[in-house]
Amino acid sequence: MPTIALEEIGVPFETELLRMNAKQHKSPEYLAINPKGKVPALVVDGQPLTENVAILTWLNRTYPEAKLLPKTSSELDAVRQTADLAFFSGTVHPLVTRFARPGKFVADDQVSSKVRSVAVQAAHPFWSMIDDRLSQAHWWYGDEWSIVDGYLFWAWWRVVASGFPGVRFQNICAHADRMKLRPCVVRALDREVVNVAQLKSEGLYKAPS
Ligand SMILES: N[C@@H](CCC(=O)N[C@@H](CS)C(=O)NCC(=O)O)C(=O)O
């Protein structure tokens, strides 16, 4: 999602493809950037910033004209936006990972299919809550698009591409369709196509399960 945010801002930036199937995110070069071995990391003037919540918050503060998050009138409302980003980062994102890449957690095929079904059950109330929220408005914050929509879209796109039958959550599906029309998302997905082609050419692409 930092890619969606950076595309929305319109500032020049470069992305670096990490070959996770070749464990490049655990290489000494990458660990020097992010010792946690996690993606994403944003390097600003040679200084790395990690964690989606921090990266998106920093981008919002640095480029306020891009309106990645709606303007707030109190400190409490501003921190509530952080809570929304943290919800996607700390609750939704890990459940999506357990569904999309269960083999990361357990090698045994039967156990990993159990990981997937537990992730589906655990995620259900959250998808329902999000779907209800989107029945009231087009975007997470009503009429105003924000990068929280970007995080939701990323999570949904990933889980559906991995075989999650998302059709019962009609409002999230409609949200994803709206997102795909936004130029920042079109450009971010174009970058993804280039990355997938590159990984395929190197024999390092693993299709979502
Ligand atoms: N808390 C981190 C988590 C990021 C995360 O889990 N990224 C995944 C890719 S979507 C990752 O780096 N996985 C590699 C691994 O865990 O080995 C954040 O929000 O930035």
**Is the CB–ligand 1 distance for residue 19 below 6 Å?**
no
**Is the CB–ligand 1 distance for residue 36 below 6 Å?**
no
Domain ranges in the chain?
75-184
pLDDT at 106: 87
b/e code 45-73 from CB counts within 10 Å (16+ = b):
eeeebebbbebbbbbbeebeebebbbeee
H-type alpha helices, the chain: 2-9, 28-33, 52-62, 75-87, 93-100, 109-136, 147-161, 170-180, 183-201
pLDDT at 188: 98
**Which residues of the chain carry a pLDDT beneath 70?**
none
Virtual torsion, Cα 164, 168, 172, 176, nearest 10 deg:
60
Q: Which of 27, 38, 99 to mutate to test the pocket of ligand 1 (most atoms within 8 A of CB)?
A: 38
**Is the CB–ligand 1 distance for residue 25 below 6 Å?**
yes
Q: Whose CA is closest to atom 18 on ligand 1? A: 51
Q: Whose CA is closest to atom 12 on ligand 1? A: 38
pLDDT at 157: 97
Q: How far apart are CA 39 and CA 52, in angstroms?
A: 9
Q: How far is the CA of 88 from the centre of ligand 1 (A)?
A: 12
Contact indicator for 108, 171 with CB cutoff of 8 Å: no
**Is the CB–ligand 1 distance for residue 3 below 6 Å?**
no
Q: Whose CA is closest to atom 14 on ligand 1? A: 38
CB count in 10 Å sphere of residue 82: 14
Q: Name the CATH architecture for the domain at 75-184.
A: Up-down Bundle (1.20)
The per-residue pLDDT for range 41-55, each reduced to its tens digit, is 999 999 999 999 999
pLDDT at 109: 81
**142's torsion region: left (phi>0), alpha (psi -120 to 50) or beta?**
left
Q: How far is the CA of 41 from the centre of ligand 1 (A)?
A: 10
